[in-house]
Amino acid sequence: MHYKNILLALVFMSFLFNCKEEDKLTKDVLIIPQPLEQTINKGEFILNSSTGINYDENFKISAEFLKVFIEEGSNIKLQSNNMISFIKDESLADEGYTLEILPESIIIKAKTDQGAFYAVQSLRQLLPPEFEDGTVEENEIAIPSVTIKDKPQFSYRGMHLDVGRHMFSVDFIKKYIDALAMLKMNTFHWHLTEDQGWRIEIKKYPKLQEIAAFRNETLIGHYSDQPHQFDGKKYGGYYTQGEIKEVVAYAQKRFVTIIPEIELPGHSQAAIAAYPEFGCTGEQVEVATKWGVFEDIYCPKEETFAFLEDVLDEVLALFPSEYIHIGGDEAPKTRWSNCEHCQTLIKKEGLKGEHELQSYFISKIEKYLNSKGRQIIGWDEILEGGLAPNATVMSWRGINGAIEAAKQHHNVIMTPTSHCYFDYYQSENENEPIAIGGFLPLEKVYSFNPIPEELNEEEAKYVLGVQGNIWTEYMKTSEHVEYMAFPRILAMSEVVWSKTENKNYPDFVKRIENFHKRLDALNINYANHLFEIEGELISDESGLSYPLQTLTEGNTIRFTLDGSEPTVYSEAYTKPITITESVSIKASVFNLEEKLGNTFSQDINLHKAVGKTITINKEPHKSYPGSGAKGLVNGISGSDSRYGDKEWLGFWGDDIKITIDLGEETEINSIETRFHNGNGQWIYTPTEIEFEFENETKHLKIPESKENLVDIALDVKIKTKIITLKIANYGIIPKGKQGAGNKAWTFIDEIIVN
Ligand code: ACM
Ligand code: ZN
């Protein structure tokens, strides 16, 4: 070879080599939540026992966290030198930081210890996951050289946990707080009181411990399963004040603020079971043994306020948080309507009914807490009857509460059920553990944009941040809580920390896949749905087809069409499956040797309306769009339990008119569809449907049902091109039902025409 060619080859090889090296390092910088800016440098920092750490009082918590993390995670003992240094930089945002990893040093700059703590969390994710469980064997660890400049998008980055329905150990609460801190979340909303159990020791009221903390038994199975059955076992407990102090101190060392929630005036049946005199009737009730909303709520009497102020005094002594959550949600007004004291109070105070009485209640509590230097947060029902003057609103029934509150210049925290309720199903797989209902897959959490479009720039400033909620009716164990929390909490951390414009779901998925090893080391029981498959029926000029896709790269989808289980020998998916008749598709993701995830199954029922033109006079609700109108005639029925999946369309309070154009006069014999009827989730089947054909109209009455799903069928013998369905919404949820007074939802599935 001519020497010039040799030179060229050498240059080319060194180019390849450099690329490889950079590729490897790029792969290693996979941080969750995604930092604002990261630049990969050349080379690496070697962490070993000659590495030292230097910090002063300003960075005591963050630097000591790092020291303990390294020394407990490995055999490396840190010296006292400047190789890892913490430097105060007043120009940075309060929670921001820069992290500069160079071959010779690591420099962390921050304005606050909290900012430096987040730099440490990023650095932690650049260390091997074996540090998490102390199994590092190497004496030298290479850390990729990188410069990170980072700060959060939102100041409120929260996770909630309901310990009323089921209670979890102090150790687990600490583990949960650890996870929040690792993900740069800064608020733990501890939901401490419920109808089914009071979980915080209040020394002045011993019956809260003796009576309110225990229920006689617990509902078995789902609330919708009729008739209700119970386990006959006493259940309960509470956190002592000593334990709470320990948890608060633990959280402080991780820059997590704990906001305690003491529910009022509703969700208070356990307290009323202990002290019936604080209810309207004075009658003995029991600590609730099933889920839902209960009518026995606090009566706004002087004695009740004295009790609540005493309780709050003890709460304030335990929790230094600026905010105290006072609940405010789901307080049925039945007892107040029938209570002489409440009615007299309404008249005396010149209030317009029970909603204003609730405002009066909340405002009185707010005044008390403000006088102690604290602020209140309440669920969005506190808007009804007028907001207390300084209240922050937690918007859970969609985002309208947030819009209304922000327009009134009140702070808001976004936690709409549609994107933030981690008690909903996260997979369409039928083997998922029982959940309350709904469907909130990882991607939907990730897609959440916390700033409602309806707010202008000025109003948007009132959005403090977002919170994921974990209601535990159906979670008896901490492992189950972890399963529901992870990986959705990872998506939430990115929603609240990372810049919305920079979010990229495929990139996030890669980082999650990498993060699994860390979660394993942390012994966190995460759900793994990364190897699941999704499909979609496509109708175009060339007919009907069904493409499949999966999230991760580098594996093969294999499928069958005869109902059999796919194996490594099944046909490899290369192009959309052509659909010419009803089929049953099964598919799975495989690497070279084995199946990686669950089997995906999809029946396609090729009825007469599949792929035809469909219009609806109303858009489905933004939170439950399914796959749009065409999803009602795609041959695919929705899940039996997950009303928020791609197939169900949700409408909130709207009457709807659906028109299907079959393209030509077609002989039809029947029209079938079904409605979700999850009354616990405010979803109701309509009472009537009107069917219109070209020359004929038919009415179908739908009887009330206790079933969760209601199938309806109209038998007709008719030739028609156009089918119209007029479906009236159920209306306002009646008294005595969950969500009474709110608009009902309509959820409709596939419209099957034969
Ligand atoms: C709520 O989910 N009841 C706030
Ligand atoms: Zn009353």
Q: pLDDT tens across 414-453, in order?
A: 999 999 999 999 998 888 999 998 899 999 999 999 999 9
- Phi/psi at 362 (5° precision): -65, -40
Name residue, tokens 């659906």. Answer: 658
Cα–chain center distance at 202:
31
Pocket test for ligand 1, best of 293, 396, 418 (most atoms within 8 A of CB): 396
User: Which ligand minimizes its atom distance to the CA of 345?
Assistant: 2
Name residue, tokens 């230094």. Answer: 320
Bridge partners, 546 (sequence order): 577
Measure 334 CA to ligand 1 centroid, in angstroms.
19
3-state secondary structure 391-419: CEEEECCCCHHHHHHHHCCCCEEECCHHH
Atom from ligand 1 closest to the CA of residue 417: 2
Whether a cis peptide bond, with omega within 30° of 0, leads into 33 is: yes
Give the model's pLDDT for residue 703. Answer: 93
- Phi/psi at 706 (5° precision): -95, -10
Give the model's pLDDT for residue 10. Answer: 43
Measure 396 CA to ligand 1 centroid, in angstroms.
7
Give DSSP secondary structure letters for 48-115: STT-EEE--GGGHHHHHHHHHHHHHHSS---EEEEEEEEEE-TTS-TT-EEEEE-SS-EEEEESSHHH
d(Cα 483, Cα 489) in Å, to the nearest integer?
A: 10
Pocket test for ligand 1, best of 191, 196, 329 (most atoms within 8 A of CB): 329
Atom from ligand 1 closest to the CA of residue 471: 2
Atom from ligand 1 closest to the CA of residue 421: 2
Look up residue 661 and give its two tokens. 């154009």
Measure 337 CA to ligand 2 centroid, in angstroms.
8
Give the model's pLDDT for residue 285. Answer: 98
- State the pairing for strand pair 229-230/219-220: antiparallel
Pocket test for ligand 1, best of 195, 261, 330, 473 (most atoms within 8 A of CB): 330
Measure 265 CA to ligand 1 centroid, in angstroms.
13
Q: What element of type H or E holds 274?
A: helix 269-274
Atom from ligand 1 closest to the CA of residue 396: 4
Name residue, tokens 């403090």. Answer: 464
- Phi/psi at 264 (5° precision): -155, 155
Atom from ligand 1 closest to the CA of residue 379: 4
Give the model's pLDDT for residue 384. Answer: 93
Sequence letter at residue 509:
V
Q: If we measure between CA atoms, which residue out of 370, 448, 454, 364 comes closest to residue 406?
A: 454
For ligand 1, atom 2, name the residue with the nearest CA. Answer: 396
d(Cα 259, Cα 254) in Å, to the nearest integer?
A: 15
N-to-C CA span, the chain: 75
Q: What 3-state class would DSSP assign to 299?
A: coil
d(Cα 342, Cα 345) in Å, to the nearest integer?
A: 5
d(Cα 241, Cα 249) in Å, to the nearest integer?
A: 12
Bridge partners, 571 (sequence order): 559
Measure 430 CA to ligand 2 centroid, in angstroms.
45
Atom from ligand 1 closest to the CA of residue 267: 3
Q: Are 433 and 221 in contact (CB under 8 A)?
A: no
Give the model's pLDDT for residue 8. Answer: 43
User: Which ligand minimizes its atom distance to the CA of 341?
Assistant: 2
Long-range pairs of 302-306 with CB within 8 A, sequence gap ≥ 24: 303/277, 303/278, 304/278, 305/364, 305/365, 305/368
Question: What number of other Cβ atoms are within 10 A of residue 52's Cβ?
Answer: 13
Give the model's pLDDT for residue 226. Answer: 78
Give the model's pLDDT for residue 617. Answer: 97
Give the model's pLDDT for residue 551. Answer: 84
Share of the chain above pLDDT 90, in %: 88
Which stretches of the chain score pLDDT less than 70? 1-27
Pocket test for ligand 1, best of 471, 474, 682, 738 (most atoms within 8 A of CB): 471
On the CB side of 540, CA atoms within 13 Å amount to: 8
Give the model's pLDDT for residue 431. Answer: 84
Q: H helices of 288-394, where? A: 302-318, 334-337, 340-348, 354-371
Measure 345 CA to ligand 2 centroid, in angstroms.
9
Give the model's pLDDT for residue 96. Answer: 98
d(Cα 297, Cα 295) in Å, to the nearest integer?
A: 6
Measure 414 CA to ligand 1 centroid, in angstroms.
12
Q: Are 256 and 181 in contact (CB under 8 A)?
A: yes
d(Cα 332, Cα 344) in Å, to the nearest integer?
A: 18
Measure 397 CA to ligand 1 centroid, in angstroms.
8
Residues with CB under 6 A from ligand 1: 329-330, 379, 396
User: Which ligand minimizes its atom distance to the CA of 195?
Assistant: 1
Measure 407 CA to ligand 1 centroid, in angstroms.
22
d(Cα 99, Cα 116) in Å, to the nearest integer?
A: 9
Q: If we measure between CA atoms, which residue out of 534, 552, 548, 589 comes closest to residue 567?
A: 589
